[in-house]
Amino acid sequence: MNPYEMQWSSATPGLLIILLDQSGSMTNKYDDNMTKSEFASKAVNRVINTLIQRNFDGESPKNRAFISVIGYDNYVHELCSGYLKDLDAKPLHIDDVMKKQSDGAGGLVEIPYKMPVWVEPITKDGATNMKGAFEMAKAIIEKWMADKPGHPAPVVINISDGAPYYDYKTVEGCMDETTQVAKQLMGLKCEDGNVLLFNALIKKAGANLVFPSEVQEGSSDEARFIFNISSEVPQAYAAAAAKNDLPLKDGSRGCIFEADGVQLVSLIDFGSSKGLGDIK
């Protein structure tokens, strides 16, 4: 079997780790309606729910994935973790929302819908200990790989709005330290391939850039940092990239700069595609 071709299954569950920036800047406005933290939490909840739903046969979800969501501010916190069945059984709460869908005659109708919530947005200020989050992800993955060597390569998705900053060090120093840990993380290897690390920088004001294959001259240090800590997208993910409208070229790195809402959900969908693609 070629690298990264293993599907997530009950026999060989996938491991998806989502790292969520919960620093003070995430309380800033994303748009008129919500903060970046609210927006990112919503995207994460939506993707967990989709993964459960795609593996749900009416009775219960199949345990085809283990998901861990880790938040980071000054410190690192496990926000939720579990196989799909565990997550389905224990959301923090279930919200009643209205969902728009086609009425079959060209119009839209609103239908009451239950939306489980596993991750809440933050309201407090804090630093950006991305390095600590990568260290925790690395520890989880090392244990997972030791226990399950024949399983699909784990996927880590980091959602942030900027560079790391912690322990009153310089941003440059934090980026260097964090890059080192990220490289160690991406160096972990199982039979299916190396750990994949994908990054999304949430929308600010800059130009949107999806899956770049090089860092442009004159790019900011922050852009270089994100590019350097992103895995090259493997060929086995090409179909998932196309399905999520993520343009892929030779040498593309799995990162999105200034991601909007659709792109953030697309990136998480893309990262978890080995658990979504097989409808049979």
Binding mask 21-60 for other proteins (x = CB under 8 A): -------------------------------xxxxxxxx-
94 binds other proteins (CB under 8 A): yes
Kindly tell me which of 106 and 218 has the beta carbon lying closer to other proteins.
Answer: 106
Shortest CB 140 distance to other proteins, Å: 21
Candidate list 2, 10, 28, 213; residue touching other proteins; CB under 8 A: 10
Candidate list 2, 28, 101, 208; residue touching other proteins; CB under 8 A: 101
106 binds other proteins (CB under 8 A): no
Shortest CB 23 distance to other proteins, Å: 33
Q: What is the 3-state secondary structure (H, E, C) of the chain?
A: CCCCCCCCCCCCCEEEEEEEECCHHHHCECCCCCEHHHHHHHHHHHHHHHHHHHCECCCCECCCEEEEEEEECCCEEEEEEEEHHHHHHCCCEEEEEEEEEECCCCCEEEEEEEEEECCCCCCCCCCECHHHHHHHHHHHHHHHHHHCCCCCCCEEEEEECCCCECCCCCHHHHHHHHHHHHHHHHHCEECCEECEEEEEEECCCCCCEECCCCCCCCCCHHHHHHHHCCCECCHHHHHHHHHCCCCCCCCCECEEEEECHHHHHHHHHHHCHHHCCCCC
Shortest CB 19 distance to other proteins, Å: 27
107 binds other proteins (CB under 8 A): no
Kindly tell me which of 95 and 125 has the beta carbon lying closer to other proteins.
Answer: 95
Shortest CB 135 distance to other proteins, Å: 31
* Residues in contact with other proteins by the rule CB under 8 A: 9-12, 52-59, 62, 88, 94, 99, 101, 104, 111-114, 277-280
